[in-house]
Amino acid sequence: MRLTDLTQHAGQWLRGAGPDSEIVISSRVRLARNVAGEPFLTRCDDSQRRRIAERLHEAVEQAAIANEMLYVDVEAASDLDRQLLVERHLISRQHAQGSGARAVVVTGDETAAVMINEEDHLRVQVLRSGLQLADSYEQIDRVDDALAQRVHFAFSGRFGYLTACPTNVGTGIRVSVMLHLPALKMSGQIEKVFQAASDMRLAIRGLYGEGTEAMGDLFQISNQTTLGQSEREIISEFNDRIVPGIIEFEREARRSLLATHGDAMEDKAFRSLSLLRSARLMSSEETMGLLSQVRLGIHLGRVQDITLQTVNELLQLTQPAHLQQIHGRAMDAAERARVRAEFIRQRLN
C-alpha cells in the first residue's frame, strides 16, 4: 500500500454512514502513550529520538493491528505528502511541521492511525463515520492492548498514564466528534453551543484542529480533561449525553429555519449545488461553504440526486494536497482553483 493510493477515495470515516451521520461527520478517540524508561521527547536528543522511533515502528508492525498497514516516515516525507496526511486527519499539523525522527502507521481502512514521536512517543487514534464513539473506543482499546504487550508504557499508580503535557495525564484519552452545524451557525445559536462547551470544559474548534477557523460549518468538539474519570465514563458522557444534546439542538434549528425560511433554504441549497456544478474557478473555502449548504439541502430532502458520501468525499478530495497528488504535480493556488472546479464538476455532473 502506498500513500498515493489514499487519494483514490476519501477516508472511510467520511463515507457518510453511521448513526446520526447527517450531523455527525465523524467520531474520534485518541490515546497518548509513552515508553517507560525513556525521556519525554522534549528532553530527547536526536539519537534517543531515533531509537524510540525505530523501536516503536517495530512494535506497531509486530502488534499487527490490521491486515493491511501503511508506514510513512514523516521525517523523510515531502511537504506535499505530509499535507496530504493532515488533510486526511491521519497526522496532526504539529506532526507534519515538526522535526526529527517521526512516523505514522495507518491501517488500510484508515480507521486507525498511530503517530510515533508527535508530542508523546505514541499517539493512537481511531476515526469512524457518524456517532460511533463506543465502537471507536472498543477498537482503540484493542490496539492499545496489542501495543502494551510489546511496549512497557510509562504509568503511575497515582496519576495513570504519564504524558509530555500534564493535560493528557491520566487516561491519556481525548474524545472528539466533528459536527456539521449549519443551522446553528445560520441562526446565530452556535454561540450558545460555544458557551455550553466552555461551561462543560469542552474544546470547540474548526475543521483542522486548533487555531483554524470553522469552514463549511464544521465544528470539532473534544474533551479537555483526561484525569479523574475512567475512559468509559468519558466516552459514555460524550456519546450518550453531550453529543446527542447538540444534535437535537441543530435538528431543532433546522426545523425552525425550514418552517420560517423554507424558500430561502431551498434557494441556497440549489444555488450552491449549481455553482459547484458550473464554476470554472473555486477556492477551498468556497467549496466547503457550498458543500455545507448542499449537505443541509440533502438532509432537508431538497437535494435528492447527491449523496452525503459524495459531499463528504468532495470535502476531502478538493483540499490542496489531495488535488496535487491526484494530478501528480505541484500547483499554485490559481491553478488549483481551476483544477478543483473541474474535479468538482466531473464528480457532480
Under the binding rule (CB under 8 A), the answer on residue 24 touching a copy of itself is no
- At closest approach, how far in Å is the CB of 280 from a copy of itself? 4
Edge-first strand listing for the sheet containing 218-223: 69-73, 103-107, 112-116, 122-129, 24-33, 173-180, 218-223, 202-205
Under the binding rule (CB under 8 A), the answer on residue 71 touching a copy of itself is no
Which one, 50 or 338, has the nearer CB to a copy of itself?
Answer: 338
Q: Which three cell numbers stand for residue 179?
A: 459536527
- At closest approach, how far in Å is the CB of 23 from a copy of itself? 24
Taking the alpha carbons of 231, 232, 234, 238 in that order, is the dihedral positive or negative?
Answer: positive
- At closest approach, how far in Å is the CB of 297 from a copy of itself? 11
Which one, 156 or 274, has the nearer CB to a copy of itself?
Answer: 274
Under the binding rule (CB under 8 A), the answer on residue 333 touching a copy of itself is no
Under the binding rule (CB under 8 A), the answer on residue 274 touching a copy of itself is yes
Given 9, 50, 142, 338, the residue binding a copy of itself (CB under 8 A): 338
Question: For residues 211 and 219, is the Cβ–Cβ distance under 8 A?
Answer: no
158: DSSP letter: T
Under the binding rule (CB under 8 A), the answer on residue 141 touching a copy of itself is no
Under the binding rule (CB under 8 A), the answer on residue 126 touching a copy of itself is no
Given 51, 93, 277, 347, the residue binding a copy of itself (CB under 8 A): 277
Name the phi and psi angles at 11, rounded to 5. -60, 150
282-314 in b/e form (b: 16+ CB < 10 A) is bebebbbbbbbbbbbbbbbebbeebebbbbbbb
Which one, 174 or 302, has the nearer CB to a copy of itself?
Answer: 302
Q: Binders of a copy of itself among 250-269, rule CB under 8 A?
A: 263-264, 266-267
Given 1, 36, 165, 281, the residue binding a copy of itself (CB under 8 A): 281
Please, what's the largest Cα pairwise distance for the chain? Answer: 64
Which one, 42 or 349, has the nearer CB to a copy of itself?
Answer: 349
- At closest approach, how far in Å is the CB of 303 from a copy of itself? 11
Angle between helix 333-348 and helix 308-317 axes, rounded to 10 deg: 160
Question: For residues 79 and 97, is the Cβ–Cβ distance under 8 A?
Answer: no
Report how many residues bind a copy of itself under the rule CB under 8 A: 16
The region, left, alpha or beta by phi > 0 then psi within -120 to 50, assigned to residue 16 is left
Taking the alpha carbons of 188, 192, 194, 195 in that order, is the dihedral positive or negative?
Answer: positive
Element containing residue 267 per DSSP (H, E): helix 243-278
- At closest approach, how far in Å is the CB of 266 from a copy of itself? 5
Using CB under 8 A, list all residues that contact a copy of itself. 263-264, 266-267, 270-271, 273-275, 277-281, 338, 341
